[in-house]
Copies of this chain bind each other. A is one copy, B any other.
Amino acid sequence: MEKFVVTPWEVRGEIDYNYLVEKFGTEKIDGALLDRIKRHTGELHHFLRRGIFFSHRDMNWILDEYERGNKFFLYTGRAPSGPIHLGHLIPWIFTKWLQEKFDVELWFHFPDEEKFLFKEELTLEDTRRYTYDNMLDVIALGFDPKKTHFLIDTVHAGLMYREACKVAKRITFSTARAVFGFTGETNIGAIFYTAMQAVPAFLPSVLRGQNIPCLIPYGIDQDAHFRVARDVLPKLGFYKPAGIHCIFLPGLGGISEQGKMSSSETETTVLTTDDPEVVKTKIIKYAFSGGQPTVEEHRKKGGNPDIDVSYQWLTFFEEDDAKLRRIREDYKSGKLLTGELKGMLVDKLNLFLREHQRRREAARDRVDDFVFKV
């Protein structure tokens, strides 16, 4: 019995990321790879410095090709089923950084049928509404509209379904069942869906009439889809897509309580549209503390940053290494109290969200610049 679950539909338990590297057959990001990336980017994103992006497949091949002038394109996505929370932003913030540093195209996939097919209660009207809403958050992160193309499955199916059929022909039900755990009760749309998720990994190659390397930054829970895509694409004459994988921003309830935040549990989540007072209340009320029960005890024994959610969140949102180290030391020594730590996180998040919300509103007029024109 595994103590945690990581699938495209469920993330739960205290996740052993090293074990996932072994189980999924990926590679850990090591110092040599970080140095190689740094030669191109000048600096390393704090998600790389801190192991938030921890695993990859074929990153060295991507850089080999890049160094001989064969640029890759980026592919990431979002299956709309609700509002965007801070956890969703992690791979996209990093994708934005990669786009900027390597000056490459991004294909951003909105499979608006996926959650409809996997969740009984969702309608296609719901997922379409969330698609538009979620696009605002993506645009707000600052992607270059000239180099960024949104693909929406029900909108771009005229382009994508044909390609998905080529993928689907190469995946037997036995394979899909083994990888995704389908049963007789699974609907035939859900069974087909993974073929649609494979399409953005080679569609640019189809459209340009040349084989272009693809790099997919994603939360490790999506790995099943891309393992299948890596198996099939070479049979269709395309490169295996490379991947770079991040851990999950833990839910407010604590690292051991749950793996990944869910928008449907508002108490464990900070939404990108939460106002400053809501953010403050959520952090103060729900963020699991690694501190001691009383101020006296805390001053004496100190707190445990490794289980403290506020500290963990700062590893995602505080870019300054020196500042973060000081916080860690002060918290461990007992100099910094839980309330003070929470206050720092609240300030950091509200600063980020104020700007994000401003850009998110401005994005309403810019959606058309991003949706791919056939």
Contacts and interface: CB of A to CB of B under 8 A. Distances in A.
Interface stretch (A187-195, A207-215, A294-302, A338-346): A187-195
Contacts of A153: 161
A150 to B, nearest CB: 15
Can you tell how many copies of this chain the complex includes?
A: 2
A168 B188 contact: yes
Interface string A100-119: 00000000000001001100
A184 interface: yes
Interface in A153-200: 153-162, 164-174, 176-177, 182-192, 194-195
A124 interface: yes
A187 B162 contact: no
Contacts of A194: 188
A229 to B, nearest CB: 13
Interface residues of A, number: 40
Scoring A166, A185, A187, A194 by chain B CB atoms within 10 A of each residue's CB, the highest score goes to: A187
A116 B171 CA distance: 14
Interface string A103-139: 0000000000100110000001000000000000000
A156 to B, nearest CB: 7
Nearest to A171: B188
- Pairs of residues from A and B, 7 with the lowest C-beta to C-beta distance, nearest first: A168-B189, A158-B158, A157-B161, A174-B184, A192-B192, A154-B162, A157-B157
